[in-house]
Structure 1
Amino acid sequence: MDPVSIALIGCGIITRSAHQPALTALGGRVRLVATVDTDPEAARHAAEPFGARVTDIEGALADPAVEAVLIATPESCHAEQVIAAAKAGKHVMCEKPIAPTLEEADDMIAACDAAGIVFMVAHSRRFTRRYMDVAADLSSGRIGQVRLVRENERRPQGFGPGGVQTFRPGHWTGDPKQTLGIALLAGIHEADIINWFASARPVTVVARHAVTTPGNQGVPDFLSFAVRFDNGAIGTSEIGRMQPPGYPAVHQLEIYGTQGAIRARDHDCQSLVRHDAAGAHHPESLSLNLSGGQTYVRQLAAFVDAIRSGQTLAVTPQDARLALAVTLAAIESAETGRRIAVKAAS
């Protein structure tokens, strides 16, 4: 079977740390043929290991050698880029969140459906082994009916390749014109996990958010929210990515059902902690968080399988839209102090 030829649109942190290693790991099943980025050096750096060419988005979408695109740009760019790719007949894997608004998400889904192409939103935790195992347990009825799902996330300042400082001037995550903040950068993950494990329709959301980063231009970097589902289940999450330096990257999951419970958290998996005058250091945090035992390889493989064999996507565009609906309701609740109804698909 011929490899799927891919153009990378967006060559920043998540591409360098996750998508490029996945492309390498899949070897003969995929072939990177082009890279696109507003930073020519980033595009060149991504292209060189694969012998790909550097181009612009128009060039990538016009290239008959490009069969699919992997979009890893800020959420403010997603709708325009996904719709353009669909009109060009390219299959699309787009980083989460699907879009910053439900209207844009609906337009993207409609364009991809009309074009008959595969459209997958990269909710990577659907491909993280422990979450896959949890989903299997819940499907089997192991803990009965789910009543509470709690998924919390903590990360230190500068967590990630190169120690990039987010939520600060000079980086897109600190620009209120480009992002709505922690809710769409990270809370979208938690919303998707909560929806997935509750297996019910989210009805209302209450939330609070805050700006905690010195120099932050008003982009919320902390969020706490609670979701009520139509079957009475509750989902809660608390996300902060500006913990003190050296703090481990930690995801904490708890699920309580009528016949049992499930718990999982990152730092149970870490075998090494170093201590010095500056405090504790957790050198495995980054690799565990980003690779997750082949998380991004499984994700890309699922995209390829959907293209080549029509395999059903583990996370559908409608799943991604529902996670967005919950997250946007959390933002509105945090801004207004009111309980907000989750907007259903039109």
Structure 2
Amino acid sequence: MSRIRVGVVGAGMISQVEHIPNLLRLGELFELVGVADPSRISRQFVTDIHGIANFETIDQLFDQRLDAVVIGSPDPLHHEQVLAALALGLHVFCEKPLCYSLAEIAEIVAARDAARKIMQVGYMKRFDPSYRLALASLPGTSSTLRAVSVEVNDPDAWPFIAHQPYRRGTDIPKDMIAVVAAKQKRQVEYAIGVPVTKLAFRGFTGAYSSALIHDVNAVHGLLDALGVPDGEVVGAQIFANGDGGQGAVKLLDGQALWTMTHLTVPKLADYKERITLFFDDASLELEFPSPWLNHHPTRLTVTTSDGHTLSKKDLRAGYAEAFVEEMRGFWAAIVNGDPVVNPPEHAARDQELLLGLTWQHLATAPFD
């Protein structure tokens, strides 16, 4: 069995709570060499907890004879860091959103092809055992599909990581934060291509590209299993000061409608995330727990009826952790040549839809 030497870029929440513990848990597959982060507080905390090396810069990490890198840095840094890793001949796993613009993703696809390396995007729901079972348990076909519904209310991570060892890096220099913020502004303006209001900026980077993007990717996989082609954006609104994002996509020339809503409710310690597919005579529902909770399986329910007699069937696929399984998938793609789940082409498809939602919002509320 080949063991991969891997480094982690970014010692923030996703790396501290998920990626670093999971890579260590998969010690038979990965040798975790170290983590790079500009925050001394965060990177030293990781060292104190896990005993791994830490580095201030990405270049210092890349000098450690790596085979692969896991990128969990702030979103505006993904593009340059992925390209730098591929240029050095490293396999790359990068958290979502891969990039804000389709052009930047196209650059990554070209760099991946030139390097002939694995590039995987961090959509862990595709590895959820219940999601994978849902793909094999769809109670209808494209000809009977009537609607797809996505509903999410989310307080963000705070209620679900309080029991986890985590330390926020509060020592990053203000000028470095300003540089990243300016880079994000330029990237968003480039991606959208039209003047962007403050509300649209917050909604595009938050509710859409940071939150609903997971559900967009998951629904795309379900629609692919049904053979349903991509649809047409027919409605979108960003609301609640950018904490809320809503959209509607017409499918199959209007035979079906896909609606989606994400709302951050910052002071309500409750999380609900549901993806429901409605067919002529049945429904399938995935109810996800907060992604920060381990050992909380996603609930998969198929509902049918015989006249007035209703039948609800709960399907259980196991207790494997999606975040762990996506790392197994990354390893298997590198070592065994398994198909890459969530290549950058998938990220481009998802981002194209999110851009479409943002353009639709701007068309109806250009001066918000």
Tell me the TM-score range normalised by the shorter chain: 0.7 to 0.9
The gaps in structure 1 that reach 5 residues or longer are: 165-169, 213-219, 268-283, 339-346
Following superposition, the deviation at residue 335 of structure 1 comes to 2.1
Q: In 2 relative to 1, CA 37–315 (structure 1 residues): closer, same or farther, beyond 3 Å?
A: same
Between 1:21-30 and 1:74-83, the stretch displaced more is 21-30
Aligned to 2:149: 150
SS in structure 2 opposite 1:18? helix
CA distance in 2, matches of 1:244, 1:34: 35
CA distance in 1, matches of 2:147, 2:340: 26
Matches within 5 A, 1:206-221: 206-212=235-241, 220-221=242-243
Matches within 5 A, 1:267-282: none
Following superposition, the deviation at residue 177 of structure 1 comes to 6.1
Aligned to 1:161: 161
The answer to whether 1:61 aligns with 2:62 is yes
Aligned amino acid, residue 73 of structure 2 = T
Aligned to 2:282: 260
Q: In 2 relative to 1, CA 95–289 (structure 1 residues): closer, same or farther, beyond 3 Å?
A: farther
Aligned to 1:81: 81
CA distance in 2, matches of 1:37, 1:90: 19
Aligned to 1:242: 265
Aligned amino acid, residue 149 of structure 2 = R
Aligned to 1:225: 247
SS in structure 2 opposite 1:6? strand
Following superposition, the deviation at residue 69 of structure 1 comes to 0.5
Following superposition, the deviation at residue 3 of structure 1 comes to 1.3
SS in structure 1 opposite 2:341? coil
Contact 2:98–2:121 under 8 Å retained in 1 = yes
Aligned amino acid, residue 208 of structure 1 = Q
CA distance in 1, matches of 2:58, 2:330: 21
Matches within 5 A, 1:113-124: 113-124=113-124
Aligned amino acid, residue 265 of structure 2 = M
CA deviations 1:85-106 (Å, max 9, x no partner) are: 1000000000011101111111
Aligned to 2:135: 135
SS in structure 2 opposite 1:27? coil
The answer to whether 1:317 aligns with 2:344 is yes
Aligned to 2:26: 26
Aligned to 2:42: 42
CA distance in 2, matches of 1:110, 1:286: 33
CA distance in 2, matches of 1:315, 1:91: 14
Following superposition, the deviation at residue 314 of structure 1 comes to 2.3
Q: In 2 relative to 1, CA 97–196 (structure 1 residues): closer, same or farther, beyond 3 Å?
A: same
Between 1:12-21 and 1:104-113, the stretch displaced more is 12-21
* TM-score between both structures, scaled by the size of structure 2: 0.75
CA distance in 2, matches of 1:119, 1:50: 28
Aligned amino acid, residue 198 of structure 1 = L
Contact 2:78–2:99 under 8 Å retained in 1 = yes
Q: Between Structure 1 and Structure 2, how many residues are aligned?
A: 305
CA distance in 1, matches of 2:295, 2:285: 17
CA deviations 1:140-188 (Å, max 9, x no partner) are: xx32223322121111254443599xxxxx999xx68647222111011
Q: In 2 relative to 1, CA 318–57 (structure 1 residues): closer, same or farther, beyond 3 Å?
A: same
Structure with the greater relative contact order (CA < 8 A, sep ≥ 6): 1 or 2? 2
Identity %: 22
Aligned amino acid, residue 245 of structure 1 = L
Q: In 2 relative to 1, CA 55–34 (structure 1 residues): closer, same or farther, beyond 3 Å?
A: farther
Aligned amino acid, residue 129 of structure 1 = P
Aligned to 1:187: 212
Following superposition, the deviation at residue 197 of structure 1 comes to 1.3
Root mean square deviation of aligned Cα? 2.9
Q: In 2 relative to 1, CA 301–208 (structure 1 residues): closer, same or farther, beyond 3 Å?
A: same
CA distance in 1, matches of 2:362, 2:59: 38
Aligned to 1:344: none
Contact 2:46–2:52 under 8 Å retained in 1 = no
Q: In 2 relative to 1, CA 11–317 (structure 1 residues): closer, same or farther, beyond 3 Å?
A: same
Contact 2:85–2:91 under 8 Å retained in 1 = yes
CA deviations 1:275-316 (Å, max 9, x no partner) are: xxxxxxxxx884159886411110000000000100002222
Aligned amino acid, residue 59 of structure 1 = Q
Following superposition, the deviation at residue 18 of structure 1 comes to 1.4
CA distance in 1, matches of 2:125, 2:149: 15
- Which of 287, 292, 305 in structure 1 is aligned with 2:293? 287
* TM-score between both structures, scaled by the size of structure 1: 0.80
Contact 1:249–1:289 under 8 Å retained in 2 = no
Q: Which has the larger radius of gyration?
A: 2
Aligned to 2:323: 296
